[in-house]
Amino acid sequence: MSLKGDPAWPLVLCGVKVALLTDCYLPRLGGIEVQMHDLGRHLVAEGHEVHAFTATRGADGTRHGQEVIDGVQVHRLAIPLPGDLPVNPLAPRELRSVLGDFDVAHVAMGVVSPFAMDSTRVALGLGVPTAVTWHCVQDRFRFVVQAAGYVRRWSRRGAALSAVSSVAAAPLVGLSTTPIAVLPNGISVADWAPSGELRVPPGGVVEVVSAMRLATRKRPVELVAAVGAARSELTGRGVDLRLTILGDGPLRSRVLTEGARYGDGWLTLPGRVTREELRARYLDSDLYVAPARLEAFGIAALEARTVGLPVVAPAMSGVSEFVTDGVNGVLTGPSTSELAAGIARLAGDTALLREITVTNQTSAPACDWPDVVRAAVAEYERAGA
């Protein structure tokens, strides 16, 4: 049953056929890839039929074909490109032949998303109710986006536009003729919440942890410099810091070099780990640091905060959506020195560190998947209206 143009849309939105359209998808691992997969499987659990269309090839190298992952029908529309870039200028023709059968299209936008932009144009051209969600902060590119004019065009054609945080939405405000909603990322809170006896951070040695791709945008080198500086400041106060960064990437050697400037044995880089290992590492840590300035949301920081860890992050990042300064952690200025001061302030104040830990352990954030799915469905209703 097609609901396009049905005046009763908001009242009958159940068992809807949803097309998720994203440049990147599993088996690639990243914020958009994992979030779109998780959104899809939770929509399926709510009784919707979900298909994902992507320019990412499959784990077995398949570039064109279909497979089912956690109940989601995944359509691969990839072509051979250097570095397996998720770009396919030939995709619109195929999308045009199939998207008309869907009740709603939900597009995931990154900083540069040619497949997503093509998908949006095709869906709107077919008259399919379309929701577009930005998973990035367009602050540096706002004038380019404004000059291109596609945000305004999409909103005028009825697309429901959203971003994963108010930080990510802010650069788009004024570029659209309709409101930019906030559709947050989600987690399964029960999978991350602490169980059993609550952990109380000890004095003396503070275990600092972070999880990220070791790439420039995530600022891993600056993280090491900030923790190293805080460590030097706290030495005379009987507090030592040890840092573990979970993840891998092209800056690994630079991170190790930066760490050596502040001594030996305090920095650990285990590489990429599973979600189960990540949770276990968080449970054995005392403090989480999210150093990225242009973080649209900060899913790893949200997971750490749900485990109970106090979080230190720049106030300008999307982490501020679920971390209140002095309540769930410390929000700082964007510079490395300001980040270091925030780390030293929290790690050096055992009473504050323990108070925030207890707060985070006993109060779950409002980003559980049932809530996020309801918010997504509200966006589909807005698109259908």
Determine the pLDDT at residue 7.
46
CATH class given for the domain over 190-362: alpha beta
Give the CA angle between residues 173, 175, 179 to the nearest 5°. 50
Taking a C-beta distance cutoff of 8 angstroms, is the pair 121, 151 a contact? no
Structure tokens at 2: 């097609």
Residue 11 confidence (pLDDT) above 80: no
Residue with tokens 């469905």: 377
State the pLDDT at residue 308: 95
pLDDT in tens, 285-297: 999 999 999 899 9
Q: Side-chain half-sphere of 215: how many Cα atoms within 13 Å?
A: 7
* Residue 106 clears pLDDT 60, i.e. is over it: yes
pLDDT at 385: 87
Q: What is the mean pLDDT of residues 60-87?
A: 95
pLDDT in tens, 14-72: 789 999 999 999 999 888 999 999 999 999 999 999 999 999 999 999 999 999 999 99
Closest CA to 307 of 384, 206, 225, 192: 192
Contact predicate 287/310, CB 8 Å: yes
Which of 348, 350, 339 is CA-nearest to residue 237?
Answer: 348
- 12 pLDDT higher than 70: no
Whether the predicted pLDDT of 259 surpasses 70 = yes
Which pair of tokens denotes residue 114? 């040619």
pLDDT tens readout for residues 90-104: 999 999 999 999 999
Averaged pLDDT for residues 181-191: 96
Question: Do residues 56 and 33 lie in contact, with contact meaning Cβ atoms separated by under 8 Å?
Answer: yes
Please compute the mean of the pLDDT values over residues 282-307 and round it to a whole number.
96
Q: Count CA within 13 A, CB hemisphere, residue 183.
A: 29
Domains 9-186+368-384 and 190-362 equal at CATH topology level = yes
Looking at residue 13, what is its pLDDT? 60
Nearest 5 degrees, angle CA 210-CA 212-CA 213?
A: 150
Residue 238 has pLDDT above 80, yes or no: yes
Q: Where are the domains of the chain?
A: 9-186+368-384, 190-362
What pTM does this model have? 0.91
Q: What is the pLDDT of residue 209?
A: 98
pLDDT, one tens digit per residue, over 328-364 is 999 999 999 999 999 999 999 999 999 999 999 999 9
Structure tokens, 281: 């590492």
Give Cα 326 to chain centroid, integer Å: 23
Give the contacts of 142 (CB within 8 A, at least 6 positions apart): 171, 175
Q: Could you tell me the pLDDT band of residue 188, with boundaries at 50, 70 and 90?
A: very high
Mean pLDDT on 215-238 = 95
pLDDT of residue 2: 42
CATH top class, domain 9-186+368-384: alpha beta
